[in-house]
Amino acid sequence: MHHSSIFVYVVLLLVCFPTNKVNSADDQTLPNILLIYADDLGIGDIGCFGNDTIRTPSIDSIAAQGAKLTHHLTAAPVCTPSRAAFLTGRYPIRSGMASPRRVTALPFAAGRGGLPANETAFTELAKEKGYHTGIIGKWHLGMSCETASDYCHHPKRFGFDYFYGTIISNTRFNGDGEEIMTWLYAFNPSLWRGLPLTAIIGVLTSWILKRFGVLGNRGFCFLAVLSIVLPLIPYVLVRHWLWFNSMFFRNDEVVEHPVRFENMTKRLVREGLDFLEDHQKNHPNTPFLLFMSWLQVHTHLHTGKEFEGVSKHGPYGDNVEEMDWASGQILKGVERLGMKENTFVYFSSDNGGHLEETDGKGRRAGGHNGIYRGGKVMGGMDGGIRVPTTVMWPGKIRPGLVIDEPTSQMDMLPTIAEMVNVPVPQDRIIDGKSMLPLLTEKESKTNHSFLFHYCGVKIVAARYRSIKGNHVFKVHYAWPKWLPNSGQCDFACSCPDHHPWLETPVMYDIANDPSEKTPLDITIPKYAKVLEKINQAKKEHMDSIEQVEYQQSFSNTVYRPWLQVWCPNGLPVNCIDPKFKDKVEIDL
């Protein structure tokens, strides 16, 4: 009788509480999310995307254990707007992060522009489910608005519990003779010779005006001083770039100023591993979301000693191989801590390789975009926006899967929303679509019928996935003004200046002609119809855009001294991160 009553209890328990049980199990299995993101890495730089002389075993291993996305696109060809779209799932024009100007990424930490606080990042969705979150490396989406520490654009505003890294980007603030000054001089000496010349001409003109009685003594002094001071401003800003931008933060405090590039990759790896170890120890019942946002492979190429000369491709190749090694260290850390089976991993790059980039000695220092035309800053060119992307999720994504369907980095917000079982924000347009159906092979076709390719605030190209057959039509409305017989500009094909509109659009079937070599004849009715369809979709898309403030307008990006933050001791350019100060050997 005793036994049978236990039996009855057990049956009752099973009958009455099965859904509760499923629910708690479901919550416990919310996956960890590891995002690894490179800066300016080209699709031609990676082994599993067809480069057989570079070694990128870590990135390749993600593809081997999961999926390779061969047609994964960023929403912009440069970092600031592209990263904004990645985090928010929206075209950068909607958040005001698309730039109407020649400068397309935030130049100063102490500027006012940045990702508006009312935008929702995928991190915030994960926070709704209690995720423990961190970002290590590059942010580049702004810092403060009105006062130095209001931190209205800081990572902590967007759901990150922990931040270690730079608010801005790796912009050669200091680095082994490759400072921005040296590099700008190598790129355009006449620009810098022009500054003293301007001052001399200004002073002479004021003197002549005084001589002829047009100016009095005061007027002369005023104009002469102005002629000297004005050209000095850009000189001082650039010459002392490291004063303004060369800072590493830990959460909301500057811990290092200027940044030491030596051993930096190792320090970032150490930070990533510390996050994971701390997570396992102190947050055992919550999943994590870790965003490893490398400063590599952007110039200055700060390759560690261990990787100097190891690749077949000079300083740039060494840098790529080091970044791959660093990514591998994080993957191994996840595995060592026993979290691999329940971790979703995504590797990608914020835009394509920068074809025109050079180092301080004028040697090529940018990435390679394989069979795709163009590169960074060219919004309509696949070389600028098709990025090497690999994803794995043990037990959920079939190892070796290859997805050739067009997908977008904007898809990450809805993908994460679906993974953590939280609805996407309902009060705004989300342009991304969850990739889970494709990744789990529930569907074989993309949910994006159309994707629009912006250069700054203008649509320069659009893509259409055909309903039937295997076609992806791409229309160019503008084409970069390349140097004669080349596929690049002198520094970058900037959006307002180097993207003239075409008289008639040019269309390719990029699924079957990935290098865009054979334009389709748009006078043939079937192609004319496709073009009309794309134009119509483009019009509807444009009608859906609400005019918002441009975060990258001149006045929002110009340097504001009162927004500058300094070391905790109140002195500029004078602190070393205490965590790594005495510890030159970094234990990995």
Ligand X SMILES: *[C@@H]1O[C@H](CO)[C@@H](O)[C@H](O)[C@H]1NC(C)=O
Interface ranges with ligand X (CB under 6 A): 44-45, 51, 53-54, 260, 262-263, 313, 316-317, 320, 368, 370, 584-585
Q: Which is nearer to ligand X, 370 or 375 (CB)?
A: 370
The burial of 18, by beta-carbon neighbours within 10 Å (0-12 exposed, 13-18 middle, 19 or more buried), is given as exposed
Q: Is 115 helix (H, G, I), strand (E, B) or coil?
A: coil
CA distance 45 to 274: 29
Phi, psi of 490 (to 5 degrees): -80, -40
CB atoms within 10 A of CB 274: 16
Structure tokens at 198: 């301007």
CA distance 154 to 306: 33
Is the backbone peptide bond immediately before 71 cis, with ω within 30 degrees of 0? no
β-sheet bridge partners, residue 291: 35, 135
The burial of 216, by beta-carbon neighbours within 10 Å (0-12 exposed, 13-18 middle, 19 or more buried), is given as exposed
Structure tokens at 443: 């569907």
Q: Which is nearer to ligand X, 193 or 363 (CB)?
A: 363
CA distance 237 to 242: 9
Closest CA to 170 of 134, 141, 135, 140: 140
CB atoms within 10 A of CB 401: 17
Q: Which is nearer to ligand X, 54 or 507 (CB)?
A: 54
CA distance 382 to 388: 11
β-sheet bridge partners, residue 165: 137, 249
Q: Which is nearer to ligand X, 116 or 304 (CB)?
A: 304
Q: Which is nearer to ligand X, 80 or 265 (CB)?
A: 265
Catalytic residues: 79, 140
Q: Which is nearer to ligand X, 42 or 66 (CB)?
A: 42
Sign of the torsion angle spanned by Cα atoms 45, 48, 54, 55? positive
Q: Which is nearer to ligand X, 108 or 580 (CB)?
A: 580
CA distance 312 to 357: 19
Q: Which is nearer to ligand X, 56 or 171 (CB)?
A: 56
β-sheet bridge partners, residue 36: 292, 347
For residue 452, CA distances in Å to 50, 69, 476 come to 27, 19, 10
Half-sphere exposure of 128 (CA within 13 A, CB side): 15
Size of the chain, expressed as the number of residues it contains = 588
Q: Which is nearer to ligand X, 38 or 397 (CB)?
A: 38
Provide, rounded to whole angstroms, the least separation between the CB of residue 39 and ligand X. 14
Helix locations, 129-188, DSSP H: 180-187
Q: Which is nearer to ligand X, 336 or 363 (CB)?
A: 363
Q: Is 457 helix (H, G, I), strand (E, B) or coil?
A: coil
Structure tokens at 103: 């400068």
Closest CA to 58 of 48, 43, 70: 48
Per-residue DSSP letter, 423:
P
Q: Which is nearer to ligand X, 323 or 522 (CB)?
A: 323
β-sheet bridge partners, residue 465: 472
Q: Is 474 helix (H, G, I), strand (E, B) or coil?
A: strand
Do the beta carbons of residue 85 and residue 75 sit within 8 Å?
yes
Do the beta carbons of residue 303 and residue 319 sit within 8 Å?
yes
Closest CA to 295 of 469, 201, 166: 166
CA distance 408 to 156: 25
CA distance 452 to 92: 11
What region does 311 belong to: left with phi over 0, alpha with psi -120 to 50, or beta? beta
Provide, rounded to whole angstroms, the least separation between the CB of residue 567 and ligand X. 17
